[in-house]
Amino acid sequence: MSNKSKKKIFLDLLKKLFPNPKIELDYENELQLLVAIIMSAQATDKQVNKINKTFFKKFSTPKELFELGEDKIKQEIKSIGLYNSKAKNIFNTSKILAFDYNQKIPTSIKELQKLPGVGIKTAKVFLIATKNAPYLAVDTHVHRVLNRWGFVKTKTPLQTDKEVLKVFNKNEIIDLHHRLVLFGRYYCTARNHKCEKDELLKDICPYKENTK
């Protein structure tokens, strides 16, 4: 099968599985989303959502978040991994947004990366979710899926990030990030992948064939 044919089959499959994909973090505004993404490093979306049911009620603007103080933020999120460093990043980010950005969140990757706790992946995820930006933020799920399907042959998510635009054009990338994350999370899992049990997948999954 040609790469072009395989890509079409793959993209069509993802559209069937996830017709209306979206991020699984719960949020009501852009500030909440940014905070949730910062918290989600090395944590599950379910863990973050559980904490934020109460945490998000404590503030509505960057200034209000800053006024909570680092210690209070730490107390609110202490049930999540790396909570000390995450609280520090959230506090310092709120300070910068409140006093340097007039309470507004920047809309470019370059400016977002100036915020503590916001790397290129976090910036891309934020812009994908809020602006439908044509980016692909490569996490472990995206890295695993693209390698198993043979679209890239890379060792790390960073290497995959550099290769991905050679595989998919900007039109194809719209909604692709969420679909890849969901596919990796629920079907093409790190262990006990579901391909052989799924009617849509069992006859077309290349990874299944390679592991027989």
Active site residue 166: no
pLDDT of residue 208: 59
Among 95, 139, 161, 175, the active-site one is: 139
pLDDT of residue 210: 52
DSSP codes joined into one string, 84-144? HHHHHHHHHHHHHHHHTSTT----SHHHHTTSTT--HHHHHHHHHHHH--S-----HHHHH
Say what the pTM is: 0.90
Give alpha helix (H) positions in the chain.
3-17, 30-39, 45-55, 62-68, 70-76, 83-99, 109-112, 120-131, 140-148, 157-163, 170-173, 176-186, 206-210
- Over residues 68-85, the pLDDT tens digits come to 999 999 999 999 999 999
Among 86, 121, 124, 175, the active-site one is: 121
pLDDT of residue 204: 78
DSSP annotation of 166: G
Regions of the chain with pLDDT less than 50: 212
Active site residue 57: no
> Which own/partner contact pairs does 187-194 have at CB distance under 8 Å and 24+ positions apart?
187/17, 188/141, 188/144, 188/145, 188/148, 190/140, 190/144
Domains in the chain, CATH or no CATH each:
3-21+136-210 (1.10.1670.10), 30-131 (1.10.340.30)
- Over residues 135-145, the pLDDT tens digits come to 999 999 999 99
